Amino acid sequence: MADPKGFLTTPRQEWPRRPAAERIRDWQEVHVPGALLPIIGTQADRCMDCGVPFCHEACPLGNLIPEWNDLVSRADWRAASERLHATNNFPEFTGRLCPAPCEAGCVLAINQPAVTIKNVECAIADKAWEEGFTPPRPPDRLSGRTVAVVGSGPTGLAAAQQLTRAGHTVAVYERDDRIGGLMRYGIPEFKMEKRHLERRIEQMRAEGTKFRASTAVGRDVPAGELRARYDAVVIATGATAWRELEVPGRELAGVHQAMEYLPLANRVCEGDMACSPLSAAGQHVVIVGGGDTGADCLGTAVREGAASVTQLDIYAQPGTARDEAAEPWPTYPRLYRLSAAHEEARDLRSAPAADADARLFAASTLRFTGDSEGHVRSLRLVGVDAGRRALPGTERSLPADLVLLALGFSGPDRKDGPVEGLGLELEPRGTIARDRGFATNVPGVFAAGDAARGQSLIVWAIAEGRAVAAAVDRHLSGGSTRLPAPVGPYDRPMTA
């Protein structure tokens, strides 16, 4: 540790955000450009270089956090980049999109604000690109073996990069017209500008990875044909089967899934259209679901000029301090957190009916009502207790011209894709079944990421991509691999 007293003398300081009134007028990232590097060295000094760094355990990638914190505090950016990329293929993605379970596991977080690990990670990644520390790394020689990766989200890209660098010829198949999966069309531009994604894709192309966009396995390429063509296949399609809300009025026009809404806004940012056909402009918007996807819808609707936006969360409003009895350190606690989107809604008073920022907590949807033309006009809700039981006298209605369902995902699509085409076995909860080596019931076919694990975090997605790459490399080489496997298929986050 560069400064043994850094955690005592330096308070936590995060990357500042641009004023809400300014940033909602564009789709650029919410943070102040150039404001991170001046503060990040002293923030890295707060790392205590613990004898047992629980941040390692909290992060499924096993990031060498104390090591690169120390290097950043000494301004050795090249070495910091080497340590960071040793465990993470895409730190500029996680540095922007991950909720940072590593910070919940920081030893300093026992009784002080944690080290700003996520900000340090992002600073290293951006500095590495700026200084040219991340050149393509094509293999010295090819193995002669071929691998198809189905899905180009963080799991698929991580698996493809690892396998390409190991010398295998890898092709990534993506059903959408651009590579990137959820990062392309699910994550709004204001959370991560797509230039970061494009830069990595170009790096991978230079290393030898092939990309096949607009190619749906099962529709454009029969799944069986794909399996016959390649020595191994990795299924990394993500959890795209969204959960439904079975209440009266669900059939009304104007009630849509979040993943019908968000991709259209991203396509506007890509220049594909001038305006989204589901634009929230001038609409009263209600988002059902209190998670990150709901917050993404919130920030998008605010930027589109919604008349009002309210987000419903079925859980009670959490506190601002960890409940040591229920969620002891170093587990990731459920706390009241203010995302950039919630901050914008609060500052701009976008949700006059909300309890806090844009959210109504402990609220359950009863039904939707519409007008004579069959379009949704209001949402009826009721307050609930911790057991999700309705509380008498709490029913109320919200105006709703556009309702977005952000209730999570249950697993991969079952029809017209690799699951059905290859005859993959599923777990009872709808995810792809696999053994301890990430192998499915079909020889030579492996599964990783949300398609097999279930909906999870981007760090788990990348960790699974790296781990399944090691399993595939071992399969192709006859039993050995030099690729790292940070997680197993049955590993789960720390819980009490």
**What does 229-268 look like in DSSP terms, one character per residue?**
HSSEEEE------BPP---TTTTSBTEEEHHHHHHHHHHH
Q: Which residues of the chain have pLDDT under 50?
A: none
Instruction: Classify residue 185: in a domain, yes or no.
Output: yes
Q: Are residues 276 and 394 in the same domain?
A: yes
Q: How many domains does the chain have?
A: 3
Same domain, 166 and 257: no
Query: 120 with 150, same domain?
Result: no
46 and 150 co-located in one domain: no
The Cα-based distances of 480 to 74, 400, 425, 435, 444 in angstroms read 38, 57, 27, 18, 16
pLDDT for res 415: 85
Flag whether 236 is in a domain: yes
Tokens 């980049």 belong to which residue? Answer: 81
CB 5 within 8 A of CB 46: no
Distances from the Cα of 123 to the Cαs of 12, 29, 36, 129, 410, in angstroms? 16, 14, 7, 10, 34
- Residue 265: alpha-carbon gap to chain centroid: 17
Same domain, 417 and 403: no
Residue with tokens 């991969």: 412
**What is the number of H-type helices and E-type strands within the chain?**
19, 13
Residue that finishes a domain, picked among 72, 100, 131: 131
Q: Which among 131, 165, 195 is the end of a domain?
A: 131
**What is the CATH classification number for the domain harbouring 267?**
3.50.50.60
The pLDDT of residue 418:
96
- Pair (223, 252) in one structural domain: no
454 with 324, same domain?
A: no
pTM across the whole model: 0.97
Residue 372 belongs to some domain of the structure: yes
- pLDDT score, position 475: 97
What is the structure's pLDDT at 352? Answer: 87
Q: At what angle do helices 292-304 and 340-348 cross, to 10 degrees?
A: 40
467 part of a folded domain: yes
Task: Report the CATH number that the domain containing residue 45 is assigned in CATH.
Answer: 1.10.1060.10
| Same-domain status, 184 and 274 | no
Note whether residue 22 is domain-resident: yes
- Domain match, 192 and 306 both: no
Q: How high is the pLDDT of residue 1?
A: 65
Residue 109 lies in a domain: yes
Q: Does 487 fall in a domain?
A: no
pLDDT of residue 428: 94
Name which of 50, 54, 70 is nearest 62 in CA terms. 54
Residues 272 and 315 placed together within one structural domain of the fold = yes
Range of the domain at 52: 5-131
Helix locations, 116-245, DSSP H = 117-131, 154-165, 182-185, 195-207, 223-229
Claim to verify: residue 312 and residue 299 sit in the same structural domain:
yes
270 and 388 inside one domain: yes
Residue 496 counted as domain residue: no
